[in-house]
Amino acid sequence: MANEPTLMIELGPAIPFTVADAAMPKGTVCKLTDPFTAVITEAVGDPIAGIAKNEKIVDGKLAHGMYRTGIWKVYVSGSVAAGDPACTSSVANQFEKAATNEEDIAGTFLEDATTQQTCLMELKPFSVSLA
């Protein structure tokens, strides 16, 4: 994979989520599925499980640490400004400005950036039901 986020300031411990017994690079952005499972993001606005703490190898283990907080250097898809809400992008491991009424927010951008640039983002996922 490419464009993995880089942890700049750790604000909390990684939380063990259930994962598949498959390879996953350090810094992979993962979406939340049931039950308490992290899988690689696939689309804009996926609910966030977290960002992989370490590389996951095929080793038979089905738990892996995911950060759900922190200040991260992330790759951006589209244009973002400091203070904009962030959501997952259709490009693996990238984030974009959340649309108005987006229900799954990954965090807040702390700097301005445009496509393929990096900027700081506070990872703090939350979901709301707006329907």
pTM of the model: 0.94
Residue 105, pLDDT score? 97
Residue 129, pLDDT score? 86
Q: Which of the residues in the chain have pLDDT under 70?
A: 1
Average pLDDT, the chain: 96
Residue 131, pLDDT score? 72
Residue 42, pLDDT score? 85
Residue 2, pLDDT score? 84
**What distance in Å separates the CA atoms of residue 1 and residue 3, rounded to the nearest whole number?**
7
Exposure string (b/e) for 19-58, b if CB count within 10 Å is 16 or more? Answer: beeeebeebbbbbbeeeeebbbbeebbbbbbbbbbeebee
pLDDT in tens, 11-34: 999 999 999 999 999 999 999 999
What 3-state class would DSSP assign to 101? coil
Residue 72, pLDDT score? 98
